[in-house]
Amino acid sequence: MAKTLAQEFSKGLWEELPPFRLVLGLCPTLAVTKSVENGLGMGIATTFVLVCSNLLVSLLRNVIPAKIRIACYIIIIATFVTVVELLMQAYAYPLYLELGIFIPLIVVNCIVLGRAEAFASKNTPVYSVADGLGIGVGFTLSLGALGAVREVLGEGTFYGMQVFGSSFEPFTFMVEAPGAFVCLGLMLCLINLAGNR
Amino acid sequence: MGDIFVLIISCIFINNIVLAQYLGNCPFLGTSKKMETAVGMSMAVIFVLTMAGVITWIVDTYFLVGLGIEFLRTIAFILVIASLVQFVEMFLKKSIPALYAGLGIFLPLITTNCAVMGVCLINVQEEYTFVEALISSIAYAVGFGLALVLFAGLRERINIGRVPKPLQDTSIGLVTAGIISLAFFAFKGMV
């Protein structure tokens, strides 16, 4: 039972790697990974919400009545999402415009609510923060990786820098919606292949 | 009248909520393994999304903008949707038990369906009028249902076939969704 803090943190990086192992939070995964920058930005915003909401849910876990707990969690999460939204408007406005509607939609990201319900409501604050941080970092890295594949193939760039020579003809397919689905499907296949050894 | 028609076509086909706007993917993959569950989910979404779209539009226009507190939009919308879902559930249980039994477990799941929240936000951001918001909510919901039912049909067929082990289930599902999305992509040339 007694897991160390490091184990709680590292399980989010492989065993429970969010969009691949737990198939949750697919909408932002598909929508914002047109480029590495967007993917990482979205991941960091989600991590912030995840850590803060896990902490608060865990602190309040003995106060919140069981019957209305989901409603309470949603209000806590929505509060932190509003905080992120306002922070991004102030300090990262271009990224805020780029991510658009998907910032307020962190509220309905099943990963955040899932961790609050499955982990933070039963564990102490320190462990909940470690769990939130682990899952958040895993999510950020996954989005970054997916963004990298799509940006390199679809635009021929990596983080805005040219990768191939000027003769490279980008596969525009990869940055459009169909490419997002196919790319995520194939990456999931690779992860399954590596994990089932 | 022409504008309304263009709006309907664009919401159902061109900007299809699942396949072009990337919203509502979790229920799209989660409830599409059987045709019956797909139909149940589609019905529940059409029902709730229409009401949610209208109510959040009213809340936003007369309450949030009126009082100058638009920054509370995220919290206000999720509260409206969560309580609406709860209310609809209680109402159906009491007065239309047959429909309640049909929609059953799909109703509570809708609270965290980002298609519902997404459409409410789109309605407000595009500054639609009341009628446009109503029409777009219905049309987006129908688009969701259409995509879900099409996808469920394909998935039932795929499950019979022999799929390599690492590709099974969600993975092949995503690739299939990509191909359907490619088909819907062709509608982009229409308007």
The pTM of this model reads 0.87
Does the pLDDT of residue B191 top 80, yes or no? no
What is the average pLDDT value for chain A, to the nearest integer?
A: 86
Cβ contact B23–A180 (<8 Å): no
> What length is written for chain A?
197
Which DSSP state fits A158? E
Residue B30: closest CA among A22, A139, A101, A69: A22
Tokens coding A96: 């805020």
Kind plus residue range of the DSSP H or E element containing A13? none
**What is the C-alpha separation between B12 and B8, in angstroms, rounded?**
6
pLDDT in tens, A53-99: 999 999 999 998 888 888 889 899 999 999 999 999 999 999 999 88
B79 inside 8 A of chain A by CB? yes
Question: Tokens 């039972």 belong to which residue?
Answer: A1
CA A183 – CA A185 distance, rounded (Å): 5
In the predicted structure, residue A1 carries a pLDDT above the cut 50: no
Contact A71 B165 (CB under 8 A): no
Rounded to an integer, the average pLDDT of A25-37 is 85
The amino acid that residue A122 corresponds to is: K
What does the angle CA A65 – CA A69 – CA A74 come to, to the nearest 5 degrees? Answer: 145
Beta-carbon contacts of A68 under 8 Å, excluding residues fewer than 6 positions away, are none
Helix segments in chain B, DSSP class H:
2-9, 25-30, 35-58, 65-67, 73-95, 97-103, 106-109, 114-125, 130-160, 170-185
d(CA A93, CA A126): 32
Instruction: Give dist(CA A105, CA B162) in Å, integer.
Output: 37
Residue B190 reports pLDDT greater than 80: no
Chain segment B10-62, per-residue pLDDT in tens? 899 988 888 888 888 888 888 888 888 888 888 888 988 999 999 999 999 99
Task: Please give the residue that has the higher pLDDT: either B5 or A167.
Answer: B5
- Does residue A169 register a pLDDT over 80? no
- The ipTM is 0.84
Who has greater pLDDT, A164 or B44? B44
Average pLDDT over residues A24-33: 83
Statement: residue A174 has pLDDT above 50: yes
pLDDT, average across residues B94-109: 77
Arithmetic mean of pLDDT, B59-74:
88
Average pLDDT of the residues in A164-181:
80
> In whole angstroms, how large is the CA radius of gyration of chain B?
17
Tell whether the model's pLDDT for residue A196 goes beyond 70.
no
Name the residue among B19, B21, B71 with its Cβ closest to that of A86.
Answer: B71
Flag the least confident range among A18-27, A142-151, B93-102. A18-27
At residue B188, does pLDDT exceed 90?
no
Q: What are phi and psi of B116, to 5 degrees?
A: -65, -55
pLDDT band at A2; cut points 50, 70, 90: low
Helices H / strands E in chain A, number of each: 8, 2
- In A60-89, the residues whose Cβ lies within 8 Å of chain B are 70-71, 74-75, 78-79, 81-82, 85-86
Beta-carbon separation of B74 and A193 below 8 A = no
Residue A197 has pLDDT above 70, yes or no: no
Buried b (16+ CB within 10 A) or exposed e, A98-130: bbebbbbbbbbbbbbbbbbeebbbebebebbbb
pLDDT of residue A41: 92
Residue A81 is predicted with a pLDDT of 94
Percent of chain A exceeding pLDDT 90 equals: 29
Q: Write the pLDDT tens digit of every residue in B126-171.
A: 889 999 999 999 999 999 999 999 999 999 998 888 888 888 878 8
For residue B77, list chain A residues with Cβ-Cβ distance below 8 A: 104
What residues does each domain of chain B span? 15-189
